[in-house]
Structure 1
Amino acid sequence: MAKLEVLVGLYVKNDALYLEYRKAMTPILLGIGGDFGYDFVVGKVLKKETSNDINRVFTIRFPSKEAMDTFFSNEEYLEIKEKYYKPAVEHTTIIRSYEITE
């Protein structure tokens, strides 16, 4: 069965708040059947297609596009995003999204 995976680059400016964001939002993500794949803290970016700085790269998976849309519009998630993500992350870059089969 194909899943939707998104490759994301961030510029995290507050690691402690970002960690709180991940702790708070992960149960919601898991609850809709999503998960994280890879997660990297990046020391140096050699080439990029954006003017945004990037110091964190990860993949996030969803069972479908509909599940992703449900996750990102979830009221509890939006409250967590406002409290932790917005003050912790300066830039978000969606590098790619694609279907995967496992």
Structure 2
Amino acid sequence: MAYELLVGLEVTDDDIYQAYRQAMKPILASYGGGFGVDFRVSEVLLPEAEPNINRVFTIYFRDEAAKNDFFTDSDYLEVKEKYFESSVAGTSIFASYGRD
């Protein structure tokens, strides 16, 4: 069963964030993963809390074990440190679920 996350981010630097996406996609693919829908958010009508969400997307994996392995992969962690940490001010995981 595939595993998916619904994620919200506060992206503060679009160019660096795009470099992050490009660098991490081959690693993500090696875990049977990819992106589903992806939105830039222009207005949040009912915020729950910080961060100020301006990007929402789904990310999927072949299963939950692959998700866990991806987020602890040493190559991914290097990419995250190089690009993600300087381009994203906050992350919210709205939902995680298995899907057929």
TM-score of the aligned structures, taking structure 1 as reference length: 0.95
Letter in 2 for 1:69: N
Instruction: After superposing the two structures, state which structure 1 stretch, 75-84 or 46-55, moved more.
Output: 46-55
Map 1:1-102 to 2 at 5 A. Answer: 2-101=1-100
- Structure 1's consecutive aligned runs of 4 or more residues displaced over 4 angstroms after TM superposition are none
Question: Alignment identity in percent?
Answer: 48
Kept after mapping to 1: 8 A contact 2:50/2:90 = no
C-alpha distance after superposition, 1:41-77 (max 9, x if no partner): 0000112322221000000001111100110011010
Secondary structure of 1:46's match?
A: coil
CA distance in 2, matches of 1:100, 1:49: 26
Kept after mapping to 1: 8 A contact 2:5/2:95 = yes
Letter in 2 for 1:54: I
TM-score of the aligned structures, taking structure 2 as reference length: 0.96
Kept after mapping to 1: 8 A contact 2:32/2:62 = yes
Instruction: After superposing the two structures, state which structure 1 stretch, 48-57 or 2-11, moved more.
Output: 48-57
Runs of at least 5 residues in structure 1 that lack an aligned partner in the other structure = none
